[in-house]
Amino acid sequence: MPTEKTALVLAGGGSLGAVQVGMLQALVEGGVTFDLVVGASVGAINGAYFAARPNAQGVSELADFWRNLRKTDVFPFSLVDTVMGILRGRGHLLRTSALQHLVRRSLPIELIEETELPLHIVTTNLLSGVEELLSSGNAEQALLASAAIPLVFPAVQIGGKFLVDGGVASNTPIASAVVLGATRVIVVPTGFGCASASPPKGLVALALHTLNLMSMRQLVRDIELYSLRAAIHVVPPLCPLDTSVIDFNQTGQLVQRAYESTELWIKEDGLFSVGVPHTLQEHTHHFG
């Protein structure tokens, strides 16, 4: 009888990555263990930290990290720099210096293979559009590549390949987990602003919001596509949710809400349920 292999899969979603931290807190408290970690975009950053310290203390430190995050730590918008960049044809709106500093300051490893749990970071080949899975090498560069939102951040060149946000090819990389031999997949999504009254303002916010919507649709598709090859359990994302993907003012509340909802999900035998959670299915919220 084949040995069960459990993969933790973390999706992308900007500031909604805080939701994943609350989910992880509840999963670790519930005694859930993993054999490998696969992440894309912000999910890769959270996944790297968790893979390095897959315990309650590690997740607590990750929660503190998120509570202290500010928008300028990730998206340091400067009108002068952006205009000059456009005029010079550099091909992206923001520099990665702030994000690079953030990753370098917080990441407890230098190489991907130094993590306690095997870590696999999903990126997208900018030229071919295919998924490029990074399982060894410089962790900082791999994470910057996985989080390089097209047109917002520059592509990262690794091994002669130009790599961008993993979400372009596979924002919730269930397929990668299955290819890596997972027989059981626990997906930790970020969710989306299902209760937002209006679209986000600004080019960066709109680009990330659109990419996030695509990823949630892709998640639904992949659950159905790979359900015969592995047991797929998806932690339900928060609903209703009206937080923008670049709003870092509510990270503490998001962590707590996600912890409480995931704790309840576990108590209601969510770890044994399969299929698409109702919060990912098509629905609307009415505004009075």
Q: What is the pLDDT of residue 93?
A: 67
Q: pLDDT tens-digit profile of 1-30? A: 568 999 999 988 889 999 999 999 999 999
The 3-state DSSP class for residue 201 equals: coil
Contact 165, 125 (CB under 8 A): no
Residue 151 phi, psi (nearest 5)? 75, -20
pTM of the model: 0.91
Residue 172 phi, psi (nearest 5)? -120, 85
Residue 117 phi, psi (nearest 5)? -100, 145
- The residue type found at 260 is E
Contact 9, 188 (CB under 8 A): yes
Q: What is the pLDDT of residue 211?
A: 77
Q: What is the pLDDT of residue 90?
A: 61
In angstroms, the CA 21 to CA 135 distance is 22
Contact 241, 193 (CB under 8 A): yes
Q: Which candidate, 137, 128, 175, 174, places its Cα nearest to that of 155?
A: 128
In angstroms, the CA 134 to CA 154 distance is 18
Helices (H), the chain: 17-29, 42-52, 56-67, 71-74, 79-87, 97-106, 139-146, 167-170, 174-179, 203-226, 251-267
Q: What is the pLDDT of residue 47?
A: 96
Q: Which candidate, 36, 285, 26, 18, places its Cα nearest to that of 181?
A: 36
Q: What is the pLDDT of residue 179?
A: 93
Neighbours of 288 (CB within 10 A): 2
Residues 6+ apart with CB under 8 A from 73: 98, 99, 102, 248
Contact 63, 255 (CB under 8 A): yes
> How high is the mean pLDDT in each 10-residue block of the chain (288 residues)?
87 92 98 97 94 96 92 73 61 74 85 97 94 96 92 90 86 86 96 82 79 81 91 94 89 96 96 86 68
The 3-state DSSP class for residue 15 equals: helix
**Cα pseudo-dihedral 173, 63, 212, 228, rounded to 10:** 30
